Amino acid sequence: MQFWKLERDSSDNIVLSLDLGPEAKQNLLKARVLEELDEFLANSRPNSLIITSAKPESFCAGADIEEIRGSLNNPVLVKQIREKAVGILLKIRHAPYPVVAAISGTCLGGGLELALACHARIAAKHPRTLFGLPETSIGIIPGFGGTQTLPRVIGLTRALEIIVGQKKLNAETAEKCGLVDTVVEPDRLLATARTFADCLRLGLTERYRTAKKNRIESIPYFGRKLILSGAIKRVLKETKGVYPAPLRAIEAIGASCKNLETGLSVEGKLFAECAASPEARNLMSIFAVRNEARSKNWVNADPQKPPGCLGVVGAGKNGMGMGKGIAYAAISAGIPTLLHDISPDCIHDAVALIESALKAGVAKKRITPAEAAARRALLTVSWGNRYERFRTTDFIVEAITENLEWKRALLSELEKHISPSAIIATNTSSLLPSEVAASLQHKDRFGAMHFFNPAEKMELVEIAGTPDTHPNTLARTLALTKALGKTPVVLDKECAGLVVNRILLRGIAKAFLKMLTVGIDPWKVDDWLERYGMMMGPFKTTDLVGFDTADHVIKSMGRYYPDSYPKLVLDMELMQNKAVLGKKTGKGFYFWDGERVGEPNYRIFQEINFKVRADSRNLKTNDPWFVEAVAQIVLNEMRNEGSWLIAEGVLKSKDMIDLAIILGAGICPNRRGIFGSDFDLART
Ligand code: NAD
């Protein structure tokens, strides 16, 4: 066997270890891996079987998406692949000898379905041990029996959380809910699996099982109906029904109360439906682009190491803010970080927020108290206008207020104190990076590194050099981005606003123009666009960003791209009423309750003088066809801006523009962004 290593003891107990070789970071259930397993099962009759991995960080990360993608156009092949895999897993399930999964590292998708087919599951206490069935994120449902076997092991409610909510469990949580039978130190994994196999044969597993006893929930018919309809309602609220997979997954999970054979056939039918959908094709395609962005060496320079010590200037004022979000991401990635702000109050708030985020991580069992303490110890802070402490930092992210003069003044002061090899990167949203760099002596060690809000969560980082940036500077920026676990998109050429903001803001400007000129209802435009696949309509986005920030950025971008920002929009005063600035004040175009968006705020036209008729909601122009036409114009504007980015040589790859706009602004992942294969306005 090429991918499975077989060890047999004198009593014919077999350990099968999966290993896709040193080149592969993760083990995957490729077709050939399954075939080899099938051949083994057909030709062996061991005393017991332990299925494990030779990679401590990856039991199995799931099916090979490239292989699935290759078969999507052929429904017969999709059916064959699935039935073959299900058949193999059923052979394990019905094996007349004990089969135990010994799991260390990622156990996701098909990997978890393989583990669920085994008679017991033992997990290693390893930071990388993680269980999940994330198939709905790529437009399909678990298809190797997971929708039937998971609810049988951990119950309906938790199975919904994992399959539909894409929740991932660490070893400890998996043990608590009965997904694994016991959790042990890594060096005890195989020995415990062997003991379990012996006990399974003797019917004595309860003595060793530390997890809650497995049980199939005995929820009455109406209770099940209620849980399932609640799940459907939540999905429809969150996704406006744009994605078929989560809804099909709920339907498949619903069938898990039937016998296994019937349930599996329901799963098969629904799996085939999802696999044939344009959403699956688009989501898998963008998944492949994302993998490319994360693995390729974007720059013409040798790969570099991430910084030994990171500096961040400007902690940020609202919520987690940009600077403190970046600092939090850095300490979470194990990078010592110095966070500085001119204002002691901002630093005080930043430390309090970072500490409470670490505490929340401990409370949610994402990290241990010791890990939280170790991360906190990596953070140092300073405030005021002295920068001597930056001598020890070898990479500094500038995240101060979006003001060109302030940024220039800071950079020239900072440059006096930092080491001659240190890099400075600006996080500017709307200024031209080389204009920001004008005050620097050493422009070769400067570039743009644009994070998205909230920086600790959003995975995209746009990177751009100026004409003076040295390739090594970009390589070091790329190394930091990867060390933070983020996905980089490196521009071919700088521009103000970089890629995502240029595209997004042009769409927002057009939406505002239509509201001001024809009185189109903002909420209807948002609703239409969200039902089309945008995570958030342009007016809701403005609420989230804050009217003051939006006003500032639109005016700043208008300076660089006057043709894209009509005078009416540039003259618009979004900050007339300080009590109506969007989410941060609890109301804007919508009412907000903390992070949660509420009802439309129909009084916005009186609260802020938008110079449109107050009765605009009653205008004929709000006919559905007109709303749709306006929403399509907004999308077309974005697509035009994307075409300009290519024509100007800012980013020549359409795929990478789509990836950036999906990860940075949530624009139509279901349609693969703005240039996606399914972006066909005539169809809608
Ligand atoms: P903010 O106004 O909330 O925070 C700016 C911080 O910089 C404040 O804490 C302020 O005290 C500090 N500051 C100002 N001048 C300083 C100086 N000379 N030295 C040290 N600290 C100084 O701004 P923000 O929203 O956190 O944005 C910061 C930067 O990140 C801006 O360039 C912005 O364009 C960019 N950005 C913002 C977002 C966003 O959504 N907020 C997203 C991406 C990028």
Domain containing residue 520: CATH number: 1.10.1040.50
The total of structural domains in the chain comes to 3
When pLDDT is averaged across residues 214-236 and rounded to a whole number, the result is: 84
Residue 340 forms part of a structural domain: yes
Query: Is it the case that residue 217 has pLDDT exceeding 80?
Result: no
Query: Is it the case that residue 377 has pLDDT exceeding 80?
Result: yes
Q: Nearest Cα to 551, choosing from 517, 588, 525, 498?
A: 588
Calculate how far, in angstroms, residue 364's C-alpha sits from the geometric centre of ligand 1. 30
Question: Cβ(268)–Cβ(252) under 8 Å?
Answer: no
Q: Which tens digit of pLDDT belongs to each residue from 298-318?
A: 999 999 999 999 999 999 987
* Bridge partners of residue 383, in order along the sequence: 341
Side-by-side strand order, sheet with 58-60 = 58-60, 106-108, 130-132, 169-170
Residue 286 forms part of a structural domain: no
Q: Which residue has the higher pLDDT, 218 or 74?
A: 74
260 and 324 in one domain? Answer: no
Q: Cα–Cα distance between 662 and 669 in angstroms, integer?
A: 6
Query: Is it the case that residue 59 has pLDDT exceeding 60?
Result: yes
When pLDDT is averaged across residues 410-434 and rounded to a whole number, the result is: 97
Quote the domain boundaries for residue 603: 500-671
Final residue before a domain boundary, out of 464, 490, 516: 490
Q: Is 365 strand, coil or helix? A: coil
Question: Does residue 412 have its Cβ closer than 6 Å to ligand 1?
Answer: no
The pick from 400, 452, 499 for probing ligand 1's pocket by mutation, whose C-beta has the most ligand atoms within 8 angstroms, reads 400
Nearest-CA residue for ligand 1 atom 44 is 429
Residue 300 forms part of a structural domain: no
Q: Which tens digit of pLDDT belongs to each residue from 5-38?
A: 999 999 999 999 999 999 999 999 999 999 999 9
When pLDDT is averaged across residues 247-267 and rounded to a whole number, the result is: 96
Calculate how far, in angstroms, residue 315's C-alpha sits from the geometric centre of ligand 1. 7
Q: What is the pLDDT of residue 681?
A: 44
Query: Is it the case that residue 78 has pLDDT exceeding 50?
Result: yes
Ligand 1: which atom is nearest the Cα of residue 315?
Answer: 9
Question: Does residue 641 have its Cβ closer than 6 Å to ligand 1?
Answer: no
| Range name among 284-288, 403-407, 517-521 with the lowest pLDDT average | 517-521
Q: What is the pLDDT of residue 677?
A: 57
Q: Which tens digit of pLDDT belongs to each residue from 312-362?
A: 999 998 776 799 999 999 999 999 999 999 999 999 999 999 999 999 999
Q: At a CB cut-off of 8 Å and minimum separation 6, what does 556 contact?
A: 402, 430, 431, 496
When pLDDT is averaged across residues 640-649 and rounded to a whole number, the result is: 96
Ligand 1: which atom is nearest the Cα of residue 428?
Answer: 32
Q: Which tens digit of pLDDT belongs to each residue from 492-517?
A: 999 999 999 999 999 999 999 999 88
Residue-averaged pLDDT of the chain: 93
Q: Cα–Cα distance between 439 and 460 in angstroms, integer?
A: 28
Catalytic residue among 35, 39, 67, 135: 135
Domain containing residue 91: CATH number: 3.90.226.10
Residue 299 forms part of a structural domain: no
**DSSP codes, 314-327:** ---SSTT-HHHHHH
Instruction: Mark whether 206 is an active-site residue.
Output: no
Question: Does residue 602 have its Cβ closer than 6 Å to ligand 1?
Answer: no
Query: Is it the case that residue 386 has pLDDT exceeding 80?
Result: yes
Catalytic residue among 23, 36, 113, 494: 113
Local confidence band at 618 (pLDDT 50, 70, 90 cut-offs): low
> Which H helix or E strand runs over 38?
helix 31-43
Question: Does residue 193 have its Cβ closer than 6 Å to ligand 1?
Answer: no
Calculate how far, in angstroms, residue 352's C-alpha sits from the geometric centre of ligand 1. 18
118 and 20 in one domain? Answer: yes
Question: Cβ(156)–Cβ(217) under 8 Å?
Answer: yes
Local confidence band at 600 (pLDDT 50, 70, 90 cut-offs): very high
Q: Cα–Cα distance between 661 and 530 in angstroms, integer?
A: 15
When pLDDT is averaged across residues 239-253 and rounded to a whole number, the result is: 96
320 and 189 in one domain? Answer: no
Amino acid at 328: Y
Query: Is it the case that residue 258 has pLDDT exceeding 70?
Result: yes
Residue 371 forms part of a structural domain: yes
Neighbours of 484 (CB within 10 A): 22
506 and 398 in one domain? Answer: no
Structure tokens at 112: 């978890």
Residue 681 forms part of a structural domain: no
Nearest-CA residue for ligand 1 atom 40 is 453
Quick one: CA dihedral 456, 458, 459, 460, positive or negative?
negative
Question: Does residue 339 have its Cβ closer than 6 Å to ligand 1?
Answer: no
**DSSP codes, 623-659:** SHHHHHHHHHHHHHHHHHHHHHHHHTTS---HHHHHH
243 and 162 in one domain? Answer: yes
When pLDDT is averaged across residues 62-80 and rounded to a whole number, the result is: 92
375 and 227 in one domain? Answer: no
Q: What is the pLDDT of residue 211?
A: 62
Q: What is the pLDDT of residue 682?
A: 41
462 and 380 in one domain? Answer: yes
Final residue before a domain boundary, out of 432, 464, 490: 490
332 and 252 in one domain? Answer: no
Question: Does residue 399 have its Cβ closer than 6 Å to ligand 1?
Answer: yes
Domain containing residue 352: CATH number: 3.40.50.720
Residue 336 forms part of a structural domain: yes
321 and 452 in one domain? Answer: yes
Q: What is the pLDDT of residue 684?
A: 37
Q: Is 602 strand, coil or helix? A: coil
Q: What is the pLDDT of residue 621?
A: 65
Calculate how far, in angstroms, residue 75's C-alpha sits from the geometric centre of ligand 1. 51
505 and 479 in one domain? Answer: no
The pick from 318, 322, 383 for probing ligand 1's pocket by mutation, whose C-beta has the most ligand atoms within 8 angstroms, reads 322
Q: Cα–Cα distance between 605 and 517 in angstroms, integer?
A: 14
| Range name among 292-301, 452-461, 543-552, 614-623 with the lowest pLDDT average | 614-623
Local confidence band at 283 (pLDDT 50, 70, 90 cut-offs): very high
CA distances from 275 to 64, 148, 250, 443 (A): 14, 18, 16, 50
When pLDDT is averaged across residues 573-583 and rounded to a whole number, the result is: 92
> Which H helix or E strand runs over 556?
helix 547-560
Calculate how far, in angstroms, residue 542's C-alpha sits from the geometric centre of ligand 1. 18
Question: Does residue 74 have its Cβ closer than 6 Å to ligand 1?
Answer: no
Instruction: Mark whether 113 is an active-site residue.
Output: yes
Question: Does residue 321 have its Cβ closer than 6 Å to ligand 1?
Answer: yes
Question: Does residue 318 have its Cβ closer than 6 Å to ligand 1?
Answer: yes
Residue 676 forms part of a structural domain: no
Query: Is it the case that residue 138 has pLDDT exceeding 60?
Result: yes
The pick from 429, 486, 541 for probing ligand 1's pocket by mutation, whose C-beta has the most ligand atoms within 8 angstroms, reads 429
Q: Which tens digit of pLDDT belongs to each residue from 79-135?
A: 999 999 999 999 999 999 999 999 999 999 999 999 999 999 999 999 899 999 999
Percent of the chain with pLDDT over 70: 95
Query: Is it the case that residue 416 has pLDDT exceeding 50?
Result: yes
Local confidence band at 214 (pLDDT 50, 70, 90 cut-offs): very low
Nearest-CA residue for ligand 1 atom 17 is 342
269 and 359 in one domain? Answer: no
Nearest-CA residue for ligand 1 atom 36 is 429
464 and 319 in one domain? Answer: yes
Final residue before a domain boundary, out of 455, 490, 525: 490
